[in-house]
Amino acid sequence: MLFAKVLPKFCQLHRPLLRSYGFIPSHLLLKAAPPPPPPPPRQPSKQSLIGKRKAARRMGSRDNTLLLFDVDGTLTPSRQVIKPQLYDFLVKDVKPKFKIGVVGGSDLVKICEQLGGGTRVISDFDYVFAENGLVAYSSGDIIGTESIQKYIGEENLQRFINYALAYLSKITLPVKRGTFIEFRSGMINVCPVGRSCSQAERLEFYEYDKVHKIRETMAEDFRREFGDLGLQFSIGGQISLDVFPKGWDKTYCLSYLDKIPNIHFFGDKTSPGGNDYEIFFDSRTKGHTVTSPEDTEKELREMLQKLQ
C-alpha cells in the first residue's frame, strides 16, 4: 500500500533518468499543468496617450490650423506641374485635418496651370494667394486685389521698366530669349534670360546664376537706383527677380489670416534674399524649409502620423 503511494511520486521526481532507460510507465506520470493564458493585448500607456494628445493640441484642429505652401520647389518642380498623387494626398488626406492654402509670386493663371490645370485648385484649397496675396481667393471666392501701378504711379512704373530693360541689354548670358519684363497686378517680374526660355535653358541659366550671381547683382543695383520708391527686390524661382512695394512680399497674405492662430508655412527659398524668407521668419507663422515636393510630402506624412 505504501509502495503504491510512493511509486508515482518517485517516478515523477526521477522522470528524466527513468525515461532514458525506458522504465517509466505512462500511467504513473502526473498530468502536466495547462499552459498559462496569453497576456492581454498591450494597451498604450497613459504617458504615450498624453504625448499624442499634446502633439494634436500643438498642431490644432482644422478650424484653427492652416498649412500654407509655396508653389515652385515646394509643391512642384520650378514652373512644372504638380504630381497627381501629391495633389490627391493634399486634398483627400491633409485637407480633412487642416486647412490648406498656397501662396506664390506667379499670377493666378500660372498657379492654376501648375496645380492641376483649370481652376479646380481655387475651390479644392481653402486659400489661394497669387502674386504673394495681392490676388486672394478663399474657398473659391475672391477676397482681395491690389495694384502696383496704383501704388507707385505710372511715371515711376515706366521709370523702373525703362531702367531695367537698359540694364538687361548690357549683360551677356549663355542664351537670351524673350519676355524680360512681365507686368503683374501686384508686382513686376524681371527675367534676365527671358521667360520664354525652354526648360533646358531655364536650368542652364539657374546653374550659371549660382556662379555669376546675375540676379543678386541686379537686385543690388536696383536697390541703389530706386531706394526712393520703397520697393523690394526678391529672387524668385530659378530665373527671375520679383519687384514690389515693401511689405508686399508673401507676408502680405497673412493680412487675410488673422483669425487663424496656427499657420505652418512650407517653402524652399527661405534664406535671406529668397522670396520665402520674410514669411518663413514672420512671428505669425511656424516655418518649415523643404527641398523638393517629395520632401514636402514626407514632412506632411510625419505631421499626420503624430496625430494618430
| Residue-level pLDDT at 62 | 85
Which CATH number covers residue 109?
3.40.50.1000
Residues 93 and 210 in one domain: no
As given in the structure block, the three cell numbers for residue 167 are 540694364
Q: Are 188 and 161 in contact (CB under 8 A)?
A: yes
User: Would strands 141-145 and 99-103 be described as parallel, antiparallel, or unpaired?
Assistant: unpaired
Cell digits for 154? 505710372
Mark whether 270 and 221 lie in a shared domain.
no
Are 172 and 104 part of one and the same domain?
A: no
Amino acid in position 210: K
Instruction: List, in order, residues 6 or more apart from 261 with CB less than 8 Å away.
Output: 60, 64, 65
pLDDT at residue number 63: 85
Element (DSSP H or E) covering residue 69: strand 65-69
Do 184 and 238 lie in a common domain? yes
Domain-located, residue 30:
no
* Grid cell for residue 245: 512695394
264 shares a domain with 126: yes
* Strands ordered across the beta sheet of 240-245: 181-183, 188-190, 240-245, 231-236
pLDDT (0 to 100) of residue 91: 97
For residue 198, being part of any structural domain is answered with yes
Q: Over its length of 308 residues, how does the chain's per-residue pLDDT go in tens digits? A: 544 555 555 555 555 555 555 555 555 444 555 566 666 656 555 455 445 445 445 555 788 999 999 999 999 998 899 999 999 999 999 999 999 999 999 999 999 999 988 899 999 999 999 999 999 999 999 999 999 999 999 999 999 999 999 999 999 999 999 999 999 988 999 999 999 999 999 999 999 999 999 999 999 999 999 999 999 999 978 999 999 999 999 999 999 999 999 999 999 999 998 889 999 999 999 999 999 999 999 999 999 998 76
The predicted structure's pLDDT at residue 23: 53
Tally of domains within the chain: 2
End of a domain among 245, 263, 287? Answer: 245
- In this structure, is residue 185 part of a structural domain? yes
- Domain presence at residue 33: no
Please tell me whether residues 158 and 124 are part of one structural domain.
no
In a domain, 29, yes or no: no
From 201, 227, 245, the end of a domain falls on 245
Task: Supply the residues annotated as catalytic.
Answer: 70, 72
Q: Residue 42: its pLDDT value, please?
A: 60
Is 112 found in the same domain as 63?
Answer: yes
Question: Does residue 25 lie within any of the structural domains?
Answer: no
Interatomic CA distance for residues 129 and 138, integer angstroms: 9
Is residue 90 domain-shared with residue 138, that is, in the same domain? yes
Q: What is the structure's pLDDT at 120?
A: 95
Indicate whether 155 and 219 sit together in one domain.
yes
SS3 101: strand
CATH number of the domain encompassing residue 170 = 3.30.1240.20
* Grid cell locating 234: 526678391
pTM for this model (two decimals): 0.70
Q: Are 76 and 114 in contact (CB under 8 A)?
A: yes
Q: Which residues pair with 232 in a beta bridge?
A: 244
Among 222, 245, 268, the domain-final residue is 245
Question: What pLDDT is stored for residue 250 in this prediction?
Answer: 95
Residue type at position 248 = W
What are 99's three cell numbers? 486647412
Residue 178, C-alpha cell as written in the block? 524673350
Q: Quick one: 281 and 134 in the same domain? A: yes
167 plus 294 within the same structural domain: no
Which residues in the chain belong to E strands, given as ranges? Answer: 65-69, 99-103, 127-130, 135-138, 141-145, 181-183, 188-190, 231-236, 240-245, 262-267, 286-289
Grid cell locating 145: 486685389
Q: Within 10 A of 242 (CB to CB), how many other CB atoms are there?
A: 26
Q: Are residues 140 and 154 in the same domain?
A: no
Q: For helices 293-306 and 46-59, what crossing angle results, to 10°? A: 130
Examine residue 234 and state whether it is found in any structural domain, yes or no: yes
Residue 130 is part of which domain span? 59-145+249-306
pLDDT at 236: 78
Please give the order of strands across the beta sheet that includes 262-267.
141-145, 135-138, 127-130, 99-103, 65-69, 262-267, 286-289
In a domain, 206, yes or no: yes
Q: Is the dihedral of CA 247, 250, 256, 262 positive or negative?
A: negative
Cα dihedral sign, 221-227-231-232? positive
Please tell me the total number of residues recorded for the chain in this structure: 308
- Can you give the pLDDT at residue 117? 85
